[in-house]
Structure 1
Amino acid sequence: MLKTFPKGGIHPPENKITSGRPIRRLPAPKVVYVPIAQHIGIPAEIIVDRKDKVTVGQVIARSGGFVSSNIHSPVAGTVTKLDMVVDTRGYKKQCIVIRTDPKDPANEDLPEEMLKTEIAMAPEEIRQRISDFGIVGLGGATFPSHVKLSVKEDQIDCLVVNGVECEPYLTADHRLMLEKSQQILVGIRILMRALGVTRAIIGIENNKCDAIDLFRKEVAGNDGIQIAALQVKYPQGGEKQLIRALLGREVPKNGLPMDVGVVVHNVGTVYAVYQAVQHNRPLTERVVTVTGKSLQDPSNFWVRIGTPISDLLEAVGGVPENTRKIVSGGPMMGKALKSTDVPVTKGTSGILVIPEGEASRGEPRNCIRCGECVNVCPMGLEPHLLMNLTEKGMYEKAAQEDILTCIECGSCSYVCPSHRPLLDYIRFGKSISRQLATKTAQQ
Structure 2
Amino acid sequence: MLMNLFKFKGGVKPPTNKTQSVGLPIAVAPLPSRLVVPLHQSIGGTPRPVVQAGDHVLKGQLIGEADGWISSAVHAPTSGTVLEVAMHVQPHPSGLDALCVVIEPDGKDEWIPREPVDYRSLSPEAVRERLQQAGVVGLGGAVFPTHGKLTASRTVPMEELVINGAECEPFITCDDLLMRERAEEVVRGVGIFRDLLQPKKVLIGIEDNKPEAVAAMQAAVKAVGEDFAVIAVPTLYPAGGAKQLIRVLTGKEVPASKRSTDLGVQCFNVATAYTAWRAIAHGEPVVSRLVTVTGNVGEPRNYDVLIGTPMDEVLALANPKADTDGIVMGGPMMGFLVPEATVPVVKATNCLIAHSPALFPPKPVEMPCIRCGSCAQACPHELQPFEMYWFSRAKNFGKTQEYHIFDCIECGCCSFVCPSRIPLVQYFRFAKSEIWAREREKKAADTAKDRFEFKQFREEREKAEKAEKLAKAAAAQAAKKAAEAAAAAATAESGVAAEAAAPEATPAPTVDAAQAAKKAAIEAAMARAKAQREAAQAKNTDNLTPDQQREVAAIEARRTTAGTPDAEKTE
TM superposition score category, shorter chain reference: over 0.9
3-state DSSP of counterpart to 2:110: helix
The aligned residue for residue 247 of structure 2 is 244
3-state DSSP of counterpart to 2:381: coil
Distance in 1 separating the partners of 2:408 and 2:251: 20
3-state DSSP of counterpart to 2:98: strand
Q: 1:257 to 1:241 in 2, by over 3 A?
A: same
Q: How many Å apart are 1:286 and its aligned residue?
A: 0.3
Distance in 1 separating the partners of 2:258 and 2:430: 22
Q: How many Å apart are 1:361 and its aligned residue?
A: 1.3
Matched, 1:218 2:223: no
Q: How many Å apart are 1:218 and its aligned residue?
A: 2.7
Which of 56, 61, 64 matches 1:61? 64
* Structure 2 counterparts to residues 319-330 of structure 1, below 5 A: 319-330=320-331
Q: How many Å apart are 1:196 and its aligned residue?
A: 2.4
Matched, 1:372 2:374: yes
Q: Read off the aligned partner of 1:106 and give its amino acid letter.
A: E
Distance in 2 separating the partners of 1:163 and 1:437: 36
Q: 1:428 to 1:322 in 2, by over 3 A?
A: same
Distance in 2 separating the partners of 1:385 and 1:275: 46
Alpha carbons 1:59, 1:72 under 8 Å: kept: yes
3-state DSSP of counterpart to 1:289: strand
Distance in 2 separating the partners of 1:159 and 1:248: 14
Distance in 2 separating the partners of 1:356 and 1:209: 33
Q: How many Å apart are 1:338 and its aligned residue?
A: 2.5
Distance in 1 separating the partners of 2:118 and 2:219: 17
The aligned residue for residue 40 of structure 1 is 43
3-state DSSP of counterpart to 1:96: strand
Distance in 2 separating the partners of 1:164 and 1:197: 21
Q: How many Å apart are 1:70 and its aligned residue?
A: 0.5
Aligned residues: 435
Q: Read off the aligned partner of 2:79 and give its amino acid letter.
A: A
The aligned residue for residue 28 of structure 1 is 31
Distance in 1 separating the partners of 2:79 and 2:220: 37
RMSD, aligned CA: 2.2
3-state DSSP of counterpart to 1:358: coil
Q: 1:353 to 1:289 in 2, by over 3 A?
A: same
3-state DSSP of counterpart to 1:412: helix
More strand by share: 1
Alpha carbons 1:130, 1:146 under 8 Å: kept: yes
Q: Read off the aligned partner of 2:390 and give its amino acid letter.
A: N
CA deviations over 1:257-277 (Å, ceiling 9, x no partner): 112111111011000000001
The aligned residue for residue 426 of structure 1 is 428
Alpha carbons 2:79, 2:110 under 8 Å: kept: yes
Q: Read off the aligned partner of 1:322 and give its amino acid letter.
A: D
The aligned residue for residue 76 of structure 2 is 73
Which of 255, 260, 263 matches 2:263? 260
Q: How many Å apart are 1:2 and its aligned residue?
A: 7.8
Distance in 1 separating the partners of 2:9 and 2:429: 21
Alpha carbons 2:6, 2:250 under 8 Å: kept: no
Distance in 2 separating the partners of 1:105 and 1:188: 29
Matched, 1:393 2:395: yes
The aligned residue for residue 133 of structure 2 is 132
Q: Read off the aligned partner of 1:342 and give its amino acid letter.
A: V
Distance in 1 separating the partners of 2:247 and 2:76: 38
Q: How many Å apart are 1:123 and its aligned residue?
A: 2.2
3-state DSSP of counterpart to 1:341: coil
3-state DSSP of counterpart to 1:85: strand
TM-score by structure 1 length?
Answer: 0.93
Distance in 2 separating the partners of 1:117 and 1:189: 12
3-state DSSP of counterpart to 1:429: helix
Alpha carbons 2:78, 2:109 under 8 Å: kept: no
TM-score by structure 2 length?
Answer: 0.73
Alpha carbons 2:164, 2:270 under 8 Å: kept: yes
Which structure is richer in relative contact order (CA contacts within 8 A, separation 6 or more)? 1
The aligned residue for residue 297 of structure 2 is 295
5+ residue gaps, structure 1, are 108-112
Alpha carbons 2:153, 2:262 under 8 Å: kept: no
More helix by share: 2
Matched, 1:106 2:101: no
Q: How many Å apart are 1:4 and its aligned residue?
A: 5.3
Q: Read off the aligned partner of 1:175 and give its amino acid letter.
A: L
CA deviations over 1:204-250 (Å, ceiling 9, x no partner): 00000111122223324956311111000000011111110110011
Alpha carbons 1:404, 1:433 under 8 Å: kept: no
Structure with max Cα Rg: 2
